């Protein structure tokens, strides 16, 4: 299975759906800052991995797949749920990458903040892709 890049898929998302993601993402970042300021970094850090926009994304995926199938005259309910479930599997695998991101930040940020952020982002991508590849092999 080859990973494909399809820029045309961006056209399926409506403007208000982009707006919802932007507002949810912005709001969650503000809330995370408020939680860290009120309860400290131990609790605040947990919310850096909060599934803030996952509900909106999964709902959009289910809706888009269902609409596409129904347009083709096929029942789309179950296919929509399956597509959203696959997205959830990906998010579960991506969580390993997110843990690697946090680990690098924890171990390196005091010594070299800029390098730590770059290495953490690279670690997220590498570990997430490795986890996805390992799942394919199993």
Partner 1 sequence: MLEYSLRFLAGGIAVSAFAALGDTLRPKSFAGLFGAAPSIALATLLITLSQKDAQFVGLEGRSMIVGAFALAVYSWTVCVLLKKFLQSSWTATMVALIVWFAVALGASAALFQLS
Interface with partner 1 (CB under 8 A), residue from 68, 69, 96, 119: 96
In DSSP notation, 15-76 reads: HHHHHHHHHHHHHHHHHHHHHHHHH-HHHHHHGGG--SSHHHHHHHHHHHHHHHHHHTTS--
Q: Does residue 44 contact residue 35 with C-beta atoms inside 8 Å?
A: yes
Question: Is 69 a residue that touches partner 1 (CB under 8 A)?
Answer: no
Distance of CA 28 to the CA centre of its chain: 13
Within residues 97-126, the interface with partner 1 by CB under 8 A covers 97-99, 101-107, 109-110, 113, 117, 120-121, 124
Interface with partner 1 (CB under 8 A), residue from 15, 43, 70, 126: 43
Smallest separation, CB 17 to partner 1 (Å): 9
Smallest separation, CB 28 to partner 1 (Å): 6
Question: Is 76 a residue that touches partner 1 (CB under 8 A)?
Answer: no
């Amino acid at each position: 299975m080859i990973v494909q890049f399809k820029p045309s898929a961006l056209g399926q998302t409506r403007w208000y759906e982009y707006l919802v993601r932007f507002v949810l993402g912005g709001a969650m970042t503000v809330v995370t800052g408020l939680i860290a300021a009120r309860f400290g970094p131990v609790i605040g850090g947990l919310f850096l991995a909060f599934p803030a926009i996952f509900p909106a994304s999964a709902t959009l995926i289910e809706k888009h797949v269902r609409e596409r199938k129904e347009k083709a005259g096929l029942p789309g309910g179950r296919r929509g749920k399956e597509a959203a479930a696959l997205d959830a599997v990906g998010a579960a695998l991506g969580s390993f990458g997110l843990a690697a991101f946090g680990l690098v930040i924890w171990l390196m940020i005091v010594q070299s903040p800029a390098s730590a952020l770059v290495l953490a982002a690279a670690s997220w991508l590498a570990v997430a892709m490795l986890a996805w590849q390992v799942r394919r092999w199993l």
